[in-house]
């Protein structure tokens, strides 16, 4: 195998950082989603973070740093998301995970890869005595066998869409002992 076709696997974790917002040229994020970032390592647990978001929202996590001037995604993308019941028993019907790129100057968003809708039909219960809900980790794999190019003006982001009732949350806590959102992306430099 030639050296220029070797894959490099990078793992990212989704966290919501309260005191930092990344809008990437004004095109990515609002006061809510601009705080959701993909990080290579969890940040200090002394930082102010938000642990979950309503699963009825579309949730996006941006990786705002450069990876290389030009690189490609190719291989198998894998990871998982964590959903939970919050304040009431909840039904999870399906989920979909997508990887996009966004352009810094134009703001153009391009779908690179996605799982398609994964049907699960799960019920997660809420314990009103202890005020805790069931959590479920949902894995995903995406065959990314077509080279998708990204350049120095583009960044990747993860998009999570869940079909559930109003009582489900997506966990994205800043806790390295329990990885709520994890994605590993194969890169070719």
Per-residue pLDDT of 58-103, as tens digits, reads: 999 999 999 999 999 999 999 999 999 999 999 999 999 999 999 9
Per-residue pLDDT of 148-179, as tens digits, reads: 999 999 999 999 999 999 889 999 999 999 99
Q: Does pLDDT of 52 surpass 70? A: yes
* Confidence at 5, pLDDT banded by 50, 70, 90: low
Query: What phi-psi label fits residue 166: left (phi over 0), alpha (psi between -120 and 50 degrees) or beta?
Result: alpha
* Confidence at 23, pLDDT banded by 50, 70, 90: confident
What pLDDT is attached to residue 67? Answer: 93
154 strand-pairing partners: 103
Delimit the domains of the chain by residue range.
Answer: 7-188
CA torsion sign for 62, 108, 170, 35 is: positive
CA torsion sign for 137, 74, 176, 23 is: negative
At residue 34, the 3 state secondary structure works out as helix
In this structure, whether the domain defined by 7-188 belongs to CATH 2.60.120.260 is answered with yes
What pLDDT is attached to residue 33? Answer: 65
Q: Does pLDDT of 30 surpass 80? A: no
The pair of three-digit structure tokens given for residue 88, joined into one six-digit string: 């009431």
Q: Mean pLDDT over residues 117-126, rounded? A: 96
Query: What phi-psi label fits residue 78: left (phi over 0), alpha (psi between -120 and 50 degrees) or beta?
Result: beta
52 strand-pairing partners: 171
């Amino acid at each position: 195998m030639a050296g220029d076709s070797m894959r490099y696997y990078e793992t990212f974790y989704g966290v919501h950082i309260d005191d930092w917002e990344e809008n990437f040229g004004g095109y990515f994020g609002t006061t809510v989603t601009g705080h959701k970032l993909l990080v290579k390592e969890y940040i200090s647990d002394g930082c102010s973070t938000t642990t979950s978001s309503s699963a009825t929202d579309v949730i996006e996590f941006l990786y705002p740093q450069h990876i290389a001037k030009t690189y490609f995604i190719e291989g198998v993308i894998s990871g998982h998301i964590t959903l939970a019941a919050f304040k009431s028993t909840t039904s999870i019907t399906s989920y979909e995970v997508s990887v996009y790129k966004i352009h810094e100057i134009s703001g153009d968003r391009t779908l690179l890869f996605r799982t398609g809708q994964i049907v699960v039909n799960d019920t997660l219960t809420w314990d009103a005595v202890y005020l805790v809900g069931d959590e479920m980790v949902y894995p995903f794999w995406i065959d990314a066998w077509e080279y998708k190019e990204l350049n120095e003006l583009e960044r990747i982001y993860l998009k999570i869409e869940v079909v559930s009732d109003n009582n489900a949350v997506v966990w994205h806590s800043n806790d390295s002992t329990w990885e709520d959102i994890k994605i590993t992306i194969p890169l070719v430099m």
